[in-house]
Amino acid sequence: MTSPSPNARPLPIPAARPAPLEPAAFSSAYRFRSITLIANATDTPMVARRMARETLRDWELPGLVDDVELCVSELVGNSVRHVPGERRIGVTFRYWPRRLFLEVADEDPRPPMLPSGGRLGRELDLLPENGRGLFIVQSLADATWWAPREQGGKSVFCRFDWTGGGAR
């Protein structure tokens, strides 16, 4: 398991109470879809992106496809990078009218981390080679938070508000 960069800091998004093993209130969601993937499978990121794209097209939410697919890619990519071996990654979508919730769960209990700008010589490194994914997720989603899972690990959640029509 890789250790966080010495310049990393906790993600400045709220942490919720521990998330249950099963996604909350299956029956209360207007629509629900979930998949469990293996972190070290070579096609994990591709399968997660395809699921996001197909789910949103099935649910007739075309204006959310690009943003949600990119967020899924970033969050699953983080899990693949930081959760070694045959560990599971869960990707879940819940939709109520006007709100889509994305959850990416993994078995790493460490909270999500944002990089801090490191120094390269005399210049501040404002564009590091990695670590920008959580910034992208926060800028695309209407809300972002995380919660520890009761059985270990964590879930990162995103909410996307949808009013219908074309692109957001």
CATH number at residue 165: 3.30.565.10
Question: What residue numbers bound the domain in which 42 lies?
Answer: 36-114+130-168
Q: In Å, what is the CA distance from 111 to each residue of 9, 58, 61, 87?
A: 10, 32, 30, 17
The predicted model scores a pTM of: 0.77
Mean residue pLDDT across the chain: 80
Q: What is the pLDDT of residues 69-93, one digit of tens each?
A: 999 999 999 999 887 778 899 999 9
Closest C-alpha among 18, 89, 31, 23 to residue 60: 31
Q: What count of other Cβ atoms lies within 10 Å of the Cβ of residue 79?
A: 26
CA–CA gap between residue 72 and residue 54 (Å, rounded): 13
Query: What is the pLDDT at residue 85?
Result: 72
Confidence class for position 21, pLDDT limits 50, 70, 90: very low
151 in a structural domain: yes
Each residue's pLDDT tens digit, 46-64:
999 999 999 999 999 999 9
In sequence order, what DSSP letters do the residues of 50-95 get, joined into one string?
HHHHHHHHHTT-GGGHHHHHHHHHHHHHHHHHHS-SS-EEEEEEEE
Q: Do the domain assignments include residue 6? A: no
- C-alpha pair distances (Å), 89 with each of 58, 140, 162: 23, 22, 26
Asked if the structure places residue 108 within a domain, the reply is yes
Q: How many domains does the chain have?
A: 1
